[in-house]
A = this chain, B = another copy of it.
Amino acid sequence: MSERKRSGKVSRRITAEAIAEKLGVSAMTVSRALNGRPNVNRKTREKVLSAARKYGYTPNHIARSLALRKTETIGVVVPEISHSFFPEVIRGIEDAVYSAGYHLILTSTAEDVNREQDAIMTLQSKRVDGLLISTAQTVTDHSMYEETIRQGVPIVFFDRVVQNIGATCVSIDDEDCCARITEHMIGHGYHSIAHLSGPPTVSIGKGRMKGYKKALARHNMKVRPELIVQSGFHEKGGYVAMERLLQLSPRERPDAVVAVNDPAAFGAIKAIQEHRLRIPQDIAIVGMTDDIRAELALSPLTTIRQPAYEIGKSAAEALIEEIEERAKPGRKIIVQTELTVRKSCGCV
């Protein structure tokens, strides 16, 4: 119908105030009606609602946030988005956040400390009600997290967590997982088991390493330092690390490999194949994370399924509980995992 106001640059949106004026009521009444407050006459409410529809009114959430000091938005900080794990986590976050009426600002740090700091800063500027963080690999200084929490902005860490600073952490039990899968190998008779380890600065790397050693210890097997090689979390690192293991003399060479995660395992598999060795006959290998490709690999990878979706969902739910003060921070939430036996371990 009416399509004027092309005059200025900005075709300014209609405000609650303007609607109030047209109806001859106050802005407050409009606000109350729109927000479904009880103390407003039924007829008045209907008038307001229909006028709002008619003029295509959309409440200005920015102004609302300013007045209420609450944005109903949470900031998400992830180290990367390519790896199939995080999209699935984000899906879980999105679902939880959506059903609680919140929104999600997504930032990815590319594993870069500075970018992570930057992200946390701007998210604070945007006054998100809380933060969901999976730390970049190289982060060692936690003062920014602590400062954020002190400012009253709750943080929930997920997957790559930071413990003992009072923030809730959601993750799998890395130590237990890695111990389990290592014991699975021990139980099937492998006796020279190597570990491709993650960065020792990240809790995941630390925990899994510990689990690996614990499993060996439980079965009175010696930890042989030459069988522990740092691979990091990516395919390339897995490849390089495995190459190093393959330099060992056939006598010293491991008969099984426990990789810190699936991508590292894929890299290792590539190296093993290039050496014309068979999986699992010559060298068995297992991963952790259940990458989407694990099932499809030439020798389907035995791994620990890490329920990415659930991690995201639990983390988001935990954060929202804390934002709404229905729960206290500093909890430790463990998400259950599952051993998925395929062919690469030679146990089936």
Contacts and interface: CB of A to CB of B under 8 A. Distances in A.
A279 to B, nearest CB: 15
A244 interface: no
Contacts of A127: 60-62
A191 interface: no
A296 B58 CA distance: 48
A332 interface: no
Interface string A11-23: 1010000000000
A340 interface: no
A40 interface: no
Contact of A106 (B61, B106, B126): B106
Contact of A69 (B10, B82, B298): B10
B61 A126 contact: yes
Interface in A125-165: 125-127, 147, 150-152
Given A66-B66, A91-B108, A105-B104, A58 B11 contact: no
Contact of A90 (B60, B106, B292): B106
Contacts of A296: 293, 296-298
Nearest 5 pairs of A and B residues by beta carbon: A87-B87, A61-B125, A296-B296, A81-B91, A106-B106
